[in-house]
Each structure stands twice: as C-alpha cells, then as structure tokens.
C-alpha cells in the first residue's frame, strides 16, 4: 500500500464559489495541502485560497470541520471503529487479521481504510462536501446497520483515493492536519477584513455550519448576537519559554549549545527572570489559581457564565448568578471559579469543584458542602463599552473600584501580590503550594487584553512540579503525524506487589527516544486491547505533575494533575519505582 500525493491548490478567485470543479475534490485538495505543509504561512495561504473558492455551504462545513467539529460522534452514530474494520474487510476481501495488521502498520484508521481499496475505474457522481454530509451521512445517522453500511460502502466504491481518505476522516472524526482554530480565523480575517477578535467571538459556543452563519460571521456590521457572546480569552504562556529564549539569545556566541539550562532551572533563578522581564515595577503579580476559568457577563438585564471551553454554565453555580444580578448592567469580568468555604484561607482542591460542574442544577446539600466564589482579575467591559484595548493597570483599577462597591463575598478581586524585586517574588512563589495555588501570574501593567495565547504580556510562573518515578505499563499510537508511532503512555506505581495505573502522558521525550521506545514497545507487547498495548513492565520514567487529589473515580484512588514526562530513568530498576502510598501522602 502506498499513499498518493498530488500538486498544490490553484485557480484562486476572489468571490464565493467562482472556481470550477467538484467541491468534495476541492476540500480533499485542501486537506492534502494542509497535511503536507509544515509552514504556517503556506497553510494560511491554502486556507485563504479555499475559502475564496468554495461555495458558502461547503465553506461553512469546512470551517466547522477545521475548527474541530465532527460529523459523526456519540450522538450521531454513522459507523463504529469495529464496523468500519469489518466492512472494509468484506468489501476488499481482506482477512480480519490483515486489516488489523495494516491498521497497526499505518497507524491511522481512515488512511488504512482508504489504502485497502483500489480507485474505481469510473468515479461516481461528483457531489459537494455539503451534499455528502447533509445528503448522505446525516440522514443515516443512528439508523440500522444496513442503512449505514450501504452509504459508507457506496462511497468507498465510487470515490478516488484523496476523496475517499477525506470521507473516512469524516467518519472517524480524525481531521488532524496541524491547523488550529486561530489559524483558520487568521485566514478568514485576511480574506474578509473582519477583525480576528470579532471572528473569534462569533465562533464561541455552539453554532451550526450553514451559509447564514458564514454570512453573519463575515458581516462587517455589529450584530445582535455579538452582545450575547463572551470575549475570546487571553491565555498566559509559561515563563520558562521566555527564560529559555532569553538564555538562547545570550548563548548565541561560539560556545552556544554547550548544555543550556532547563526551563525549570531558569525559573528558579530570580536574576534570569529579571533579565527576561525587566523591572518588577512594570508588572502586576497575582496568584495563579487552580479552578475553572470563566467570564461573567452582565448584559441586558441578564447574567451568563461562560467557561474557557466555550460552554455556558448557567444554572450550575446559582450563588454566583445571584451575586452578579446586583452588578450594574454592561459588565464583563474575567476570573477563576473556585470551591472555597467562607471561613477557609485557601480554596478546596479542584476535585471538589468537579463535583459541582457535573450537576446542572445543584441541590441544597451540594451548595452547602461545596460553596464557590469567583476570584475576578480583569474587566473586559464596563457600561457596555469594550475595555480590552485599555492598559492592564487601568482595567485593574476600575475592577477594584467596581467590586469594592458591589461588596458581595461571592465575587472578590484576586489580590495583588506585592514584591519589591524578583527575588522577593521568587520567595512568594515558593509558598504557592502551601497556599493551594499553582504559582504566580505576571501581567505587564500597560498590556491590553488580547485574544488567545499571545506571548509577552501575560506569563504564568508556576511552582516546580512534584515528581514520581513510575513504570511504563501501556502504550497507544499517537495522532496526526505521530499516528504510526506509540507515543501515548500509561504509567503505574507499586501498590503492594502490583503496578496500578496513576498517570497518562505523551510529552517530554525527544524524537530519538520516541523511536527507540516505539521499537521496544512493538517487541515487548503482552496483550492488545483495541489500539492499546500492554507491555512488559521494565522501563522507569520520572514524571512531573502539579498536584495530587483524592479521587473515587480512579482505581488508584488518586488523580494526578497535568502529568508529563521529565526523563527516561535508564539508571533505575522498576523495583525501585515509587509506591502508591507515597503519592497518597501528597494528596489533598
């Protein structure tokens, strides 16, 4: 089996639907272009070209898919993984074992399905992308197996490789081509002249891929719906990345590359922080809370709570909505929702907050057992006016005045952290874990509130990770360009004489280590559970993580927060890996 490639997109026009050619083929060409390119500017140019060419129906679906939307899913069953593998075996006269072996070798189910069939001698009717989705796939969703199988098999027999591969991606939901939602928005902004912040705001929440939505998305007018949406969140970057960049610039001489310090080591050096950020007086320091990031919107007489994950949380935290109802109209706060008892001097663990977010309408006992408060730290709108372009210090001053006048203990301002110099700030950071926080937030005093992760103005200076030595026990293939390698790992620690899983991680190894470990995994597989391999316990890895919380949902009884691989411990036998009781002793 081999994968077929072809040339770049051409024939760009400046109006919707002006180019010729079947639209499924046009989107398949875009997919191939994006998949083959590693340059961001080339990807954006390909997106601009596509959206200028495609008819509105197709463009709306392309936008939806490239932004992470899926045609098939738990609520719209078109074909399960098992069914796809059975059907392709039947249609291609391939034994089950060979289908499984092919999938194992290719690493991507959609591509495996495409490769197991030859191109048809005569392709079938040319259909638009929207016609395939709306006319073929959605009508059979959740129907009997015969109806679903007939549509899928007919497509396999009539589509050529590129379109067949794309069709399979629609079935599996694995449309991963190294394109972020922001990159798509940048392309639309370049094409339409609409501000990217306005585009990002209009794409928040649930939306339906229709020509009407696309028309409103690209409208230069202020629309009624714009008032109902949150602003795109401004995301902080790890301070270690700024420190490494500063160190790399300083080491760019002849002796560069003689063993640069790690980001963790640099983060513990106040002098390195001072060199990278300048005078501490230029910065606002706050605690970095471990809660749910959200925007509180008080507009047009109503209150809305939006999470960073673009989900409305109305009804789940009625005490916050009640407190917000007495705020003046035309106010938007950015802050952190925390589980916090009134008499405590620190928040409850994040796991306590999880019990609240799972309840759409919490009862009196839940409200009493796990009260919440909103720690606000930015003012995005005041009196209906967008304040995001104003400097941080001005937004902060107005925020403090407004919240003080409101005087409700359920909505409080995240306190400023005073420090005369970076060494004093580092000492405060060292106290973070004892205070139930993750470190410090550093915000440039004259910075506007931006959209997305924009480096330079907001940094998160997190505390050093906790560490354990754990044993690799399971492995799974990665996604996208790593789909042919085992890069997703599960690690265990000792509970008596048994290794129990405590963490999953997929980052922290370099390319050579990934290749070496992949080869070892294939040679030391004990069992297979679908895409997961159980491997011979042997290799020990040092894992870093932010915190440990007690959890009844996990077999081990604990939940590790944000685990990642720090190093491969070739020097340590698995008998000396850490034990579960040591992890439980760290748990809150």
- For residue 579 the two structure tokens come to 């034990």
pLDDT per residue of the chain (588 residues) written in tens, 0 to 9: 434 333 332 333 334 444 444 578 999 999 999 988 888 999 999 999 999 999 999 999 999 999 989 998 878 999 999 999 999 999 999 999 999 888 877 878 899 999 999 998 877 778 899 999 999 999 999 999 999 999 999 999 999 999 999 999 999 986 778 888 889 999 999 999 988 878 887 887 778 999 999 999 999 988 877 776 788 899 999 998 888 777 776 665 444 443 334 666 788 899 999 999 999 999 999 999 999 999 999 998 889 898 887 677 888 999 999 999 999 999 999 999 999 998 899 999 888 888 888 787 889 998 999 999 999 999 999 999 999 999 999 999 999 999 999 999 999 999 999 999 999 999 999 999 889 899 999 999 999 999 888 889 999 999 888 899 999 999 998 865 666 789 999 999 999 999 999 999 988 888 899 999 999 999 999 998 878 999 999 999 999 888 888 777 788 888 888 899 999 999 899 999 999 998 888 876
Domains and CATH numbers, the chain: 23-68+178-228 (no CATH), 81-172 (no CATH), 290-413 (3.30.470.30), 466-586 (2.40.50.140)
Kindly give the residue spans of alpha helices, DSSP state H, lying in 96-210: 96-106, 109-115, 129-130, 138-140, 145-158, 161-172, 181-192, 196-202
The Cα–Cα gap between 265 and 239 comes to 12
Q: Which of 48, 8, 49 is nearest to 29 (CA)?
A: 8
The Cα–Cα gap between 345 and 588 comes to 15
Strand ranges inside 405-457, DSSP E = 411-413, 439-444, 452-453
Q: Which of 497, 496, 448, 489 is nearest to 471 (CA)?
A: 489
Query: Which residue numbers are catalytic?
Result: 288
DSSP state of 199: H
pTM of the full structure = 0.63
């Amino acid at each position: 089996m081999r994968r077929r490639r072809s040339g770049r997109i051409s024939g760009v026009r400046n109006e919707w639907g002006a180019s010729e050619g079947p639209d499924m083929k046009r989107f398949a060409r875009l997919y191939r272009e994006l998949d083959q390119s590693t340059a961001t500017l080339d990807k954006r140019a390909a997106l601009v070209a596509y959206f200028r060419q495609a008819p509105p129906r197709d463009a709306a679906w392309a936008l939806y898919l490239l932004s992470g939307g899926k045609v098939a899913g738990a609520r719209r069953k078109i074909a399960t993984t098992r069914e796809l593998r059975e059907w392709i075996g039947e249609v291609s006269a391939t034994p089950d074992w060979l289908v499984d072996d092919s999938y194992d070798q290719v690493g991507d189910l959609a591509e495996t399905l495409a490769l197991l069939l030859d191109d048809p001698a005569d392709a079938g009717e040319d259909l638009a992308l929207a016609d395939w989705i709306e006319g073929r796939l959605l009508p059979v969703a959740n129907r009997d197996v015969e109806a679903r199988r007939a549509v899928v098999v007919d497509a396999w027999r009539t589509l050529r490789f590129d379109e067949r591969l794309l069709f399979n991606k629609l079935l599996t939901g694995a449309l991963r081509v190294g394109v972020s939602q922001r990159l798509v928005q940048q392309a639309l902004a370049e094409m339409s002249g609409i501000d990217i912040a306005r585009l990002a705001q209009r794409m928040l929440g649930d939306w339906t891929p229709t020509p009407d939505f696309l028309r409103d998305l690209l409208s230069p007018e202020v629309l009624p719906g714009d008032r109902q949406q949150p602003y795109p969140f401004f995301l902080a970057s790890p301070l270690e990345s700024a420190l490494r960049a500063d160190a790399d610039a300083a080491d760019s001489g002849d002796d560069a590359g003689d063993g640069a310090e790690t980001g963790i080591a640099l983060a513990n050096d106040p002098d390195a922080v001072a060199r990278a950020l300048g005078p501490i007086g230029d910065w606002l320091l706050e605690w970095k809370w471990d809660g749910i990031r959200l925007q509180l919107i008080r507009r047009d007489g109503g209150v809305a709570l939006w999470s960073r994950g673009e989900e409305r949380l109305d009804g789940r935290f009625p005490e916050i909505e009640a407190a917000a109802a007495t705020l003046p109209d035309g106010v938007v706060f950015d802050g952190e929702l925390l589980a916090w008892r009134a008499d405590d001097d620190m928040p409850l663990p994040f796991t306590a907050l999880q019990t609240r977010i799972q309840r759409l309408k919490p009862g009196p006992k839940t409200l009493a057992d796990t009260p919440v408060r909103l720690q606000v730290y930015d003012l995005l709108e005041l009196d209906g006016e967008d304040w995001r372009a104003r400097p941080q210090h001005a937004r902060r001053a107005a925020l403090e005045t407004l919240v003080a006048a409101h005087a409700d203990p359920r909505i409080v301002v995240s306190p400023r952290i005073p420090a005369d110099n970076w060494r004093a700030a580092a000492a405060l950071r060292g106290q973070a874990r004892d205070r139930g926080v993750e470190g410090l937030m550093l915000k440039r005093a004259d910075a506007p509130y931006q959209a997305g992760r924009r480096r330079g103005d907001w940094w998160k200076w997190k505390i050093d990770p906790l560490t354990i030595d754990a044993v690799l026990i399971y492995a799974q293939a990665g996604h996208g360009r790593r789909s042919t390698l085992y890069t997703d790992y599960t690690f265990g620690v000792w509970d008596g004489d048994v290794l129990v899983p405590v963490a999953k991680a997929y980052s922290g190894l370099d390319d050579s280590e990934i290749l070496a470990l992949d080869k070892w995994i294939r040679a030391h597989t004990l069992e297979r559970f679908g895409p997961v391999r159980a491997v011979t316990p042997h290799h020990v890895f040092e894992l870093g993580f932010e915190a440990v919380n007690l959890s009844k949902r996990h077999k081990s009884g604990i939940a590790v927060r944000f685990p990642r691989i720090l190093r491969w411990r070739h020097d340590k036998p698995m008998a000396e890996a850490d034990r579960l009781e040591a992890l439980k002793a760290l748990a809150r």
